[in-house]
Structure 1
Amino acid sequence: MTTLFAWVTPAFWSGSPLDHTWVTTYNSNLTPYPAIADVVAAGEDLWYCWGSFHPIGNPPGMLASRAGNRALAECLVQPNADSSTSAPARGTIFTYGVDGVCHQLANQVLYATGSPGNPPLTVKGARGYSLSSFLFGTYGLQASAWHTKLQGCLGLGDPVSGLPQWSEKIMPDAPPTPALPDDFRDHAREVLADDPEKLQALMALRGEMQAFLARRVPGFLPPDAEMLNAHHRHMLEQAALLLGPEKFTQLFGIEPGEQVDLVDPAMAAAQRGDEPQPL
């Protein structure tokens, strides 16, 4: 087993209220490799997770760490490759800002820390995670593709097979799917424990929004960052109207009306081919 480390740094700019997340097989506090070539030469892995290369976290302390199955992590998401230019390095977050953002891709890597009876780590301690998990869930909106990816990687044989256990089939003719955590649902249940009707309405709103995001129009480029961020802000406004200021702030960690953009314009442009992504 290999220890997987999750890291954060302010997203987009210094002082941002959101965190970018990524994962490594090494403790960058002890060995801050200056470039990806040094990581590869040392036989280590870094998963970009729809971001740039970062030699160390900011703050330097890791977000989380746990022993995991490196072969499984490498199968789920290609390490040491830029997500904006390498499709395998995207896991099943195929379209940045539509299927998910860095949080969901980091969670896909960290799935390899799970074991029977021990749910995998997630980056739920990152700033802005309640916002992204409300919109995109724990592992992104490409649920069918993610289940297929899990089946393929978990079926490789020892030592990968058996991590974690599979749940029952959702439908009689469907393949079995893993029991996956839903961090936002769990957090919402805690915050709205005294108001089950409001919880139900919030989850219904989330379901409608996710269904909208999951739609694809063949032949069209994904929306640009401005359009995506406007849509995401609108959905948060709807949640604020439903919850009221106090519960909204408890759940999302921001004030109603506070403008927070989840989608990095440079990364979205890089995927669209509008401009190169700086490293």
Structure 2
Amino acid sequence: MSTLFAWVVPAYSSGSPVDHTWITTYDSRKHAYPDIAAVKKAKEANWYCWGSFHPKGGVPGNPPGFIGSKTGDRSIADCLVLPNASSKTNTAARGTIFSYGIDGVCHQLANQVLYATKAAGSLPMTVKAARGYAISTFLYGTYGLQHAAWKAKLMACAGAKPMTKLPSAMEERVEHLPDDFADHARQVLSDKPELLDQLLALRTEVNTFAAQKIPGFFPPDAALLNARNQHLLDQAAALLSPDEFHQIFGMEPGARIDIVDPTIMEQLDE
């Protein structure tokens, strides 16, 4: 067992209202390793989560960038997502967020690592304290849009080896995955059940639409994905009052928020 730590920095620019998230087995407030070689030498782990290596975190109002920690099963975390490797160049470091911006973003991949903190009687930790998280989970869910692949990965990593029949208790754990967006929306709209049902139905439609392959010979770029995501958020804004939208998404309706980091997409094209 290891303690897994979750960290944030502003995504793709110092003034971004969205956070990039990543996971480590060490507390960078105490041990800020300068590079990944130092992390490996210390026999620690850093899950890049589609980002770059960061010695430490930090966002406005939270100088260390620390957003939580919980004990987890290191072997499961390593199986779900390969640590100490860039998601941009190593497919095993992508979990089931195979295509960045299409299957999910850093929030979903960080959550996949943190699924290893699931314990009897408690849900796994997630990076729900990250800025922009409600938006990303509205669009991509808690663990990304590759639902069948994610469930298969869980079943394989939780057992002794792939295709092993798991105990019924473990199968139940896999079936009941957290849905942070739905939980948050229920809290905000607790006195408006019909509106809540409409929003969650829209969210299901959004996830289904977002999971569809975008026509064309080349993968969509960040501008196209962000424009599509903005359109989907605008549908939620049309359903909710400005105050309800702000409470749920943490932003004003109509404000432009780019969840997909264009710098990551550019690096993938290099």
TM-score by length of 2: 0.93
**146, 150, 154: which one aligns with 1:150:** 154
Q: In structure 2, do the counterparts of structure 1 residues 209 and 141 end up closer, same or farther at CA, with 3 Å as the change threshold?
A: same
Cα distance in 2 for partners of 1:87, 1:55 equals 23
The answer for the alignment partner of 1:44 in structure 2 is 44
CA distance in 1, matches of 2:177, 2:115: 9
- Partner in structure 1 of residue 202 of structure 2: 205
**1:135–1:232 contact (8 Å) kept in structure 2:** yes
Residue 183 of structure 1: aligned partner: 180
1:37-81 alpha-carbon deviations (Å, 9 max, x no partner): 111111110000010110001121511001111110000000001
What residue is the counterpart of 1:166 in the other structure? 171
Q: State the 1:217 CA deviation.
A: 6.2
- Once residues 209 and 231 of structure 2 are traced to their aligned partners in structure 1, the CA distance between those partners, rounded to angstroms, is 13
Percent sequence identity over aligned pairs: 58
Indicate whether 1:141 and 2:145 are aligned.
yes
Q: Distance in 2 between matches of 1:44 and 1:164?
A: 30
Residue 229 of structure 1 aligns with an amino acid whose one-letter code is: N
- Number of residue pairs matched? 262
Q: How far apart, in 2, do the equivalents of 1:253 and 1:142 lie?
A: 26
1:214 aligns with 2:240: no
Q: Is 1:224 the equivalent of 2:229?
A: no
Q: 1:252 pairs with 249, 262, 267, which one?
A: 249
Structure 1 portions without partners, runs of 5+: 169-176
Give runs of aligned pairs for residues 1-279 of structure 1, distance below 5 A. Answer: 1-58=1-58, 59-156=63-160, 165-167=170-172, 177-216=174-213, 220-271=217-268, 273=269, 275=270
Instruction: Give the whole-Å Cα distance in 1 for the aligned partners of 2:259 and 2:93.
Output: 20
- RMSD of aligned C-alpha atoms? 1.8
Encode CA deviations 1:3-30: one digit per residue, 9 max, x unaligned: 0000001111112111100000001111
Normalised by the length of structure 1, the TM-score is 0.90
**2: CA distance, partners of 1:45 / 1:222:** 31
